Structure 1
Amino acid sequence: MKNIVMAPEDWLKLIQSAKKTAIIQDGKRKVHFLMEDDREMVEEYHLETNVLVRRAWREKGKLGQDIGWTVEVGDPEPKNQDNLDISGIRESSAAPFVTRRVTKTALEWRIRNLTYPKHIYSVSAEDDGSLTVRTSNKKYFKKIIVPDLERIGLKPEQDRISFTHQYNTLIITYKKPPLLLEMEKKVLNEIMQLKSRKEGDVQCPTS
């Protein structure tokens, strides 16, 4: 989804003003946000570490119709089996695809199904706010948007990028800057103040 570059305090205000509900389920704290601009976001945090394991946004079309959820952090939603009689094509299971994870100190991307050795790849921080993955053999090119930085008005810095390659997977790590760490701390503080019901509890009516 398209993210809006904003000042750090604007993103925090958006989180603070959102209608929030939380539930404890499957070892995670799951939080639903309804923003003042009518966007919906769901986040899941590991109960023991409080690390974000999933973030998804509900997408709407130009006419306001619901077109489903877009996963920003975590494994993508499972795709329905393509109907070859309708589409005539099916995406190859061997095609490279990107997943995102978050740790306490870093943002992480995994690009699977990349078979080239590590020395073939380069990852660069761009002026447009993206990370760009290239191969010296010109077989793969990918621009990666970093919404976590966009939301607080930062651009990626080259010296925070590192990457490795194993099991046909390129693993890109971006060390979180202090401003992002501070923002995540403030957002988590908002979440921890929520009254979280456990799965199976009777939900009380809101006042």
Structure 2
Amino acid sequence: MATGPVAMAGSSWLERLRAARKSALLQDGKRKVHYLFEDGRELAEEYDLETSQLVARKWREKNALGRSGKWQVEVGEPNMAPGGALDSELIKESSSNPIFVRRDTQTSFQWRIRNLPYPKEVYSVSVEKEQRCCVIRTSNKKYYKKFSIPDMDRYQLPLDPAALSFTYANATLIITYRKPQEIRAAEEELQQELKKIKAANDGEGECKTQ
């Protein structure tokens, strides 16, 4: 299921992050970090300054002509265009359609699917080990979605059905996958690395480092 920028195989993901060219900016109570990889791909992340919790992650890569494409959101709300409208490919979506958003916690990967009006008992969530993905099904055949966990692919870890759970409230399905200890340890190590980057404050130029 891992495609595009999430499918970086080879050396460990943490080593790739260390090797990337990085810059940081402190703004709106967040540490905003930009990574530039050797192949030209870009990664942008935002962390809460108080908790170090990841609140946004998005990717961008160059097209065949060498131009930067659109940012693809992995964690956080979908891209908003000026004026508050969603990016052009989403503008035509009805406001009543299900909206799939990833929002993590310190201990879990978490997804919220808003605008799902069906009762809790119709939903089932499962792990497809061979396809390396999670699947949401409804017994009334009204909703179906398959999604991967890019972090598990990047760290090349197997999916564990026991780590997956879900709840439902206020027309929102909340799916939780408990982070394995390997990823939690790597995230803690990364935070120590990011704090070493000299970050510019809002209004200053970004300060870059290797």
TM norm structure 1? 0.89
Question: Among 153, 171, 181, which residue is 1:178 paired with?
Answer: 181
User: Larger Cα Rg: Structure 1 or Structure 2?
Assistant: 1
- Percent identity between the aligned chains? 46
Q: Deviations over 1:63-98 (max 9, x none)?
A: 433221111111111255799xxx9x9322111120
CA distance in 2, matches of 1:117, 1:58: 37
Aligned-pair distance for 1:61? 3.0
The alpha-carbon distance between structure 1 residues 57 and 72, as it changes in their structure 2 partners (threshold 3 A), is same
Question: Residue 182 of structure 1: SS of its match in structure 2?
Answer: helix
Match of 1:118 in 2: 120
CA distance in 2, matches of 1:197, 1:170: 38
CA distance in 2, matches of 1:199, 1:140: 43
Q: Deviations over 1:113-166 (max 9, x none)?
A: 111111111111112111100001111110011001110001321111111111
Match of 1:195 in 2: 198
Match of 1:46 in 2: 48
Structure 1: which 5+ residue stretches go unaligned? none
Match of 2:107 in 1: 105
Question: Among 3, 20, 23, which residue is 1:21 paired with?
Answer: 23
Structure 2: which 5+ residue stretches go unaligned? none
The alpha-carbon distance between structure 1 residues 62 and 114, as it changes in their structure 2 partners (threshold 3 A), is farther
Question: Among 154, 162, 166, which residue is 1:163 paired with?
Answer: 166
Root-mean-square deviation (CA, aligned residues, Å) is 2.4
Which residue identity does 2:115 align to in structure 1? N
Match of 2:143 in 1: 140
The alpha-carbon distance between structure 1 residues 90 and 35, as it changes in their structure 2 partners (threshold 3 A), is same
Please give the residue correspondences for 1:78-93 in structure 2 after superposition, counting only pairs within 5 Å: 78=80, 80=85, 90-93=92-95
Does the aligned pair in 1 maintain the 2:59–2:74 contact within 8 Å? yes
CA distance in 2, matches of 1:54, 1:70: 11
Moved over 4 A (4+): 79-83, 202-207
Question: Among 152, 155, 164, which residue is 2:155 paired with?
Answer: 152
Does the aligned pair in 1 maintain the 2:40–2:62 contact within 8 Å? no
Match of 2:75 in 1: 73
Does the aligned pair in 2 maintain the 1:5–1:153 contact within 8 Å? no
